[in-house]
Amino acid sequence: MQEVEAKNLLKKHWGVKAELLSLPSERDINFKVCADKNYVLKVYPKVDAALKTKLNLQNKVLKFLEGEGLTSCPMVVSTKTKKLLVNPSKNSAARLLSFYEGLAWGDRAEHSSEEIERLGQLIAAVDKSLLNLKVSSVEKKSLNAPFIWNMLQAGQILKWSEKITDSKLRELVEKTIKSFHLNSLPKLKKMPMQVIHNDGNDYNIIEKDERVFLIDFGDMIYAPKIVGAAVAAAYVGLKSDDPVKQISQFVRGYHSVNPINLEELEIFIELVKVRLASSVANAALQKAQNPENNYLTISQSDVPKCLALLDQFDDNFAHYRLRNAIGLEANPNAKLIRDYLLSSTPANLLDKPFSQLKKVYINWSFDNPEIARSTKAIEELMAKSGAEVSIGYYCEDRNVYQGEAFNPASESARTFHLGVDIGMPAGTPIYAPLDGVIELFNNNSTYLDYGPVVVLRHKTDQGIPFWTLYGHLSIDSIPDWKIGKEIKAGDLIGRMGKEEENVGWPPHTHFQLLTDLCGMGIDIYGVAPRDEIALWRGISLNPNLILGIESGTDAHAKIAPASIKSDRRVVISQNLSLNFKNPINILSGSGA
């Protein structure tokens, strides 16, 4: 349709006189209508019965959402004769929608956690409303028709995956789809179905003035709500080196409006990967069919990279992040491990139990202006107090680390200590508190790393694995370590290293209790990002469960207000308000 025809169409049916601007589109013809109020004129040159059903259903959905009070989705504009769809010719159709000014999500390089949560809330609100939409058998048949963007039909992608020219990428796409068919699809088919938007891609999300808008309902299908959530989540991390973090923020927002259950959460990351794999395969197919249409591959520079990152990401760690996002303890095994240790009697880590040793606590937090950082300073502090052992706190927000990852100006700075530091003279023997097996060891010789470090694997009486890590040991401890070597409670593990052996730290042992290694192996975090401390407390438990220091080891450090506020959006009911401007830091009055 030419611009002059579109102008005549507007004036005839809607009484609107305006200038038009052509907009990119995958299938139909779109014009931005520039008048006193802006609109989108959508023209469909070839309309058969199936497409007409789809267009009428789209109008029905948009009218329904408008009736539900959702103002962040397009509104259908009636003609002068109260019609929602007109036929400029026998086989064509047109309709007029409200237009949202703003910037497409994909045109920005970064988004804050609050912005991502806000998007999750919008998708959730749409899904929650559409659950109540009644559709006829004809409409349901239309929603279930063969469609390359229907995740429930993702197996068909294997028919044209050969068009992906990069062999490694093709293998990844095919692996993703095959895994989905084996693992997630059978579970999806048992979940409640509803109408979903199904196309929350980064160019169907418009942002303006701290609001987000969802446009283009042309890809709607009948599927579980979690499919639509995963589709939108797939695009929030496209430009990130850590897409799971952005996906978790989306899930946090979505869950706060439309709760996600554990069955849905379990398959969520795989659904995200399927959407990305579908995008790669479908772009290859469409590009082969329409090589001149650049709109068809608008996101393809980022999609393969994101899919590869998700494929490499540890499945358990991804799941822990999602659990934390909906207000659950990260590792579901954490409570069982905690209960087991509380009912156990570990052997002593040192020659004597801590109850027989005079202790002094070392404060390495941001709140301490005079940090005893050097070996000499700590020796003087211990001598002054008559202490035999120094204790460095668990979950202390520390001001002693160096490097970009520890930059205190960053919200994601790794500053929260996940172990307990036991300080004594170099050469002090360290013993295994529990039976176990040596899983990993290394000499992490980078400055301010661990130096010699060893990880033991243990198991509860129910066979649930957990790990203990011992860092900053002596070089001469290493020859006794062998992968798979059985260790009995009370066996010598090694000795505390000198400052030059443990790469710049005063003599001490970093002792850490882990419910999972999260795919990081020997490089598992010993210091957590400050904006993910709740997550890591559910992965790296308080080592005092083993040490048994009566005076405790938990610093209960102050958590950043933004993190507290984000957590409370999940765990506090939406009908309750926080009656203070800055979140209060509430601490338990008992426990270690």
Please, are residues 123 and 227 in contact by the beta-carbon 8 Å criterion? no
Quote the pLDDT of residue 586. Answer: 54
The structural domains of the chain, with segments of one domain joined by +, span 1-99, 103-328, 334-560
How does DSSP assign 229-244, residue by residue?
A: HHHHHHHHTTT-S-HH
Tell whether domain 1-99 is in CATH 3.30.200.20.
yes
Higher pLDDT, 413 or 409: 413
In percent, the amount of the chain with pLDDT more than 70 equals 90
Quote the pLDDT of residue 410. Answer: 64
Please, are residues 185 and 152 in contact by the beta-carbon 8 Å criterion? yes
How does DSSP assign 566-585, residue by residue?
A: HHHHHHS-TT----SSS---
Q: Which residues does 474 contact at the CB level (< 8 Å), separation at least 6? A: 426, 427, 452, 494, 495, 496, 497, 498, 501
Q: What is the mean pLDDT of residues 444-453?
A: 91
- Torsional sign, CA 69, 75, 81, 83: negative
On the question of pLDDT at 160 being above 80, the answer is: yes
Tokens coding 154: 């993702």
pLDDT in tens, 196-210: 999 999 999 999 999
- DSSP alpha helices (H): ranges in 31-81? 49-67
On the question of pLDDT at 558 being above 60, the answer is: no
Q: What is the mean pLDDT of residues 123-140?
A: 98
Q: What is the mean pLDDT of residues 563-571?
A: 57
Give the separation between CA 439 and CA 467, rounded to whole angstroms. Answer: 9
**402 burial level (CB within 10 Å; 0-12, 13-18, 19+):** exposed
The kind and range of the H/E element at 139 are: helix 137-143
Residue type, 387: A
Quote the pLDDT of residue 573. Answer: 54
Plot region of 297 (φ>0 → left; ψ -120 to 50 → alpha; else → beta): alpha
Give the separation between CA 8 and CA 1, rounded to whole angstroms. Answer: 11
Quote the pLDDT of residue 559. Answer: 56
- Torsional sign, CA 272, 273, 275, 280: positive
Q: What is the average pLDDT score of the chain?
A: 92
Give the separation between CA 302 and CA 299, rounded to whole angstroms. Answer: 6
Quote the pLDDT of residue 365. Answer: 85
Of 393, 390, 381, residue with least CA distance to 357: 390
Give the separation between CA 416 and CA 289, rounded to whole angstroms. Answer: 53
pLDDT in tens, 67-84: 999 999 999 999 999 999
Please, are residues 339 and 332 in contact by the beta-carbon 8 Å criterion? no
Class of domain 103-328: alpha beta
Quote the pLDDT of residue 237. Answer: 93
- Please give the sequence-ordered ranges of beta strands (E in DSSP) within 288-402, or none if there are none: 359-362, 389-392
Q: What is the mean pLDDT of residues 113-138?
A: 98
On the question of pLDDT at 583 being above 70, the answer is: no
Quote the pLDDT of residue 375. Answer: 86
544: number of Cβ within 10 Å: 22
345: number of Cβ within 10 Å: 9
Please, are residues 511 and 420 in contact by the beta-carbon 8 Å criterion? yes
On the question of pLDDT at 355 being above 80, the answer is: yes
On the question of pLDDT at 391 being above 80, the answer is: yes
How does DSSP assign 435-499, residue by residue?
A: -EEEEEEEEE-STTS-EEEEEEEEE-TT--EEEEEEESB-GGGGGG--TT-EE-TT-EEEEBPPT
Q: What is the mean pLDDT of residues 10-28?
A: 90
Give the separation between CA 567 and CA 327, rounded to whole angstroms. Answer: 7
Q: Name the percent of the chain in helix, strand, coil, to the closest 5.
A: 40, 20, 45
SS3 for 217? coil
Query: Under CATH, which number does the domain 334-560 receive?
Result: 2.70.70.10
The kind and range of the H/E element at 248 are: helix 243-257
CA distance readout (Å), 101 to 206, 208, 215: 8, 7, 11
Quote the pLDDT of residue 478. Answer: 98
pLDDT band at 591 (very low <50, low <70, confident <90, very high): very low
β-bridge pairing 29-34 and 19-23: antiparallel
**575 burial level (CB within 10 Å; 0-12, 13-18, 19+):** exposed
Give the separation between CA 466 and CA 459, rounded to whole angstroms. Answer: 6
How far from chain centre, in Å, is Cα 527?
19
β-bridge pairing 359-362 and 389-392: parallel
Q: What global pTM score does this model have?
A: 0.90
CA distance readout (Å), 320 to 92, 224, 251, 256, 332: 50, 22, 12, 18, 8
pLDDT band at 406 (very low <50, low <70, confident <90, very high): low
> Can you name the residues that pair with 417 across neighbouring β-strands?
527
Q: What is the mean pLDDT of residues 14-18?
A: 93
Residue type, 568: R
Quote the pLDDT of residue 592. Answer: 44
pLDDT band at 564 (very low <50, low <70, confident <90, very high): low
pLDDT in tens, 455-508: 999 999 999 999 999 999 999 999 999 999 999 999 999 999 999 888 889 999
β-bridge pairing 93-98 and 76-77: antiparallel
The kind and range of the H/E element at 311 are: helix 303-312
- Torsional sign, CA 44, 46, 48, 51: negative
Give the separation between CA 360 and CA 591, rounded to whole angstroms. Answer: 19
Quote the pLDDT of residue 503. Answer: 86
Please, are residues 14 and 81 in contact by the beta-carbon 8 Å criterion? no
Q: Which residues does 232 contact at the CB level (< 8 Å), separation at least 6? A: 119, 120, 123, 197, 200, 201, 205, 250
**Ramachandran angles phi, psi of 496, nearest 5°:** -60, 140
